[in-house]
A and B are shown apart, each in its own frame.
Chain A
Amino acid sequence: MAPPRTYHCEALILKHVPFGEADLLVTFFTRERGKIRAVARGARRSNSKLVGHLEPLTQVNLSVAQGRGGLDHVSQAQLIESFAPLKDDLKAITKGFYLAELVDGFGSEANPNQPLYHLAVAGLNAIGQDPESELSLRFFELHLLKVSGLMPELYQCVECRKDLAPGSHRFSPDVGGCLCPDCRPADAHVRPLSLRALKVLRLLDRSQLREIPSLKLSDSLAQEIKSLLGMSIEYWLDKQIQSNSFLEQLHREEKSGVYS
């Protein structure tokens, strides 16, 4: 018997681009099948039954018809969660786009990763609840590496495998995590790692997302952690994160008092 030509899945819409006269080419990350790109016919028409259900940062149930050798087609979409609080705040939307870009980058096509799916949904909820929290994004970044099998080593030196003693260490995504002061691998991009930053990274590793908002960090420590995780993510993706530049611009404009 031939396999069914339509499948159903729960998905997070990551992005879409115009396709043809009135269609959309939609990229979504499904709980059951990993990342998928499919065409939504007529979805740009205002009276399409799909309109509104396929906006980025929306969780939906989809019915998708398998294409014959080409792209699949979205035939039905039913909204599960629109993350409405997130969509009322510019910074939260931008953080949501950043999250979607990372899921797009780390999620692979037709390769299910349920922990990544649940992490992304929880991350969007956390951003909506507290758009100002930077730590929830750091939590997402670290656990994204973890569920993708790329978690940096935070407890032992990646070269000599000795437990890290309290003190200043170094960090390198090239070699897979922390280095003790004695190990100096050649050709690795290495940067200093303060003890406080190491402790926060370990705490993020062991914490639940709901525990994160209670943490308060100094600006310099928050910046160090952001930079370390950003370096790891760009190393593994081998490209710059596009949405990060607008997020940085919003931070800069806020600090310079443009909106005061």
Chain B
Amino acid sequence: MTPDAIPAASPSLARLIQELNRLPGIGPKSAQRLAYYLIRLPNEEALALADAISAVKSNILFCQKCQNLTDSSPCGVCSEPQRNQEQICVVEDPMDVLALERTRAFRGLYHVLHGVISPLNGVGPDQLKLKELFSRLTQEEVKELIIATNPTLEGEATAMYIRRHLAGQELKITHLARGLPVGGSLEYTDDLTLSRAFQGRQEL
């Protein structure tokens, strides 16, 4: 929505609506609702939000090792000496690190790609943090690379590209198991997932 489309009574309100409209999943109507909500907020609460946005933009940087978003580089995870330095888990974005950390199942290091190869959107390997991953693998004593991209077609393509690039190197490359989700149902599971679940079956 352009500022011209908003009643000209308040250019600053029009600007706020325009900026909110840029956020993912926020349409013009939602942008207007949010803008009027912010106007009605007490001054200190609205300014706290503005301050948080400003602080995050000026303080956040990429960790020099794992490329995750952090306030200081190397980040908290990369600086932990108890972590297994020989395992790197490759994920699509920072939220995946949070999801894996919640499980407490993995105590190695991460590498965040900040996206996946998406040919339809013109996103290729050069737009991801892949160069940083390949260079990291030459500098660190890594024995296993665990690819944890999402089990989508684009995630699989990214995993294949990484595997193809590292073929022939003395490095164990694994990816997370594919199969049935907890709480899922065989009846509604697609054929590809079911066949991969069969391939990855485990002895009880």
Q: Give residues in A with beta carbon < 8 Å to B.
A: 15, 18-21, 46-47, 49, 51-53, 55-58, 79, 82, 84, 87, 89-90, 93-94, 97-98, 100-101, 242-243, 245-247, 249, 258-259
Contacts and interface: CB of A to CB of B under 8 A. Distances in A.
B153 A87 contact: yes
A108 to B, nearest CB: 18
5 contacts: A87-B192, A93-B160, A97-B119, A101-B119, A246-B125
Given A20-B25, A47-B183, A52-B190, A93 B156 contact: yes
A76 to B, nearest CB: 9
Contacts of A57: 153
B119 A94 contact: yes
B25 A55 contact: no
Given A53-B190, A258-B165, A93 B25 contact: no
Interface in B1-47: 24-25
A46 B181 contact: yes
Most buried by A among B119, B185, B189: B119
Nearest to A49: B188
Contact of B156 (A87, A98, A246): A87
Nearest to A260: B168
B157 A93 contact: yes
A94 B158 CA distance: 11
A49 B185 contact: yes
B161 interface: yes
A90 B165 CA distance: 12
Contacts of A242: 119-122
Interface string B148-184: 0000110011001100110100000000000001111
A252 B184 CA distance: 42
3 A-B pairs with the lowest CB-CB distances in the bound complex, closest first: A52-B190, A243-B119, A49-B188
B76 to A, nearest CB: 28
B117 interface: yes
B109 to A, nearest CB: 25
Contacts of B193: 52
A195 B191 CA distance: 47
B124 A245 contact: yes
A46 B184 CA distance: 8
A40 to B, nearest CB: 13
Nearest to A100: B120
A99 to B, nearest CB: 11
Contacts of A87: 153, 156, 192
B165 A94 contact: no
Q: Which of B124, B184, B193 has the most CB of A within 10 A?
A: B124
Contacts of B192: 52, 55, 79, 82, 84, 87
A245 B126 CA distance: 11
Given A47-B181, A84-B191, 9 more contacts: A15-B120, A46-B181, A47-B183, A47-B184, A79-B190, A87-B192, A90-B160, A90-B161, A97-B119
A57 B152 CA distance: 11
B119 A98 contact: yes
Nearest to A86: B153
A166 B150 CA distance: 54
A249 B192 CA distance: 28
A52 B160 contact: no
B195 interface: yes
A257 to B, nearest CB: 12
A40 B97 CA distance: 26
A92 to B, nearest CB: 10
Contacts of A18: 24
A55 B164 contact: no
Contacts of B161: 90
A90 B153 contact: no
B153 A79 contact: no
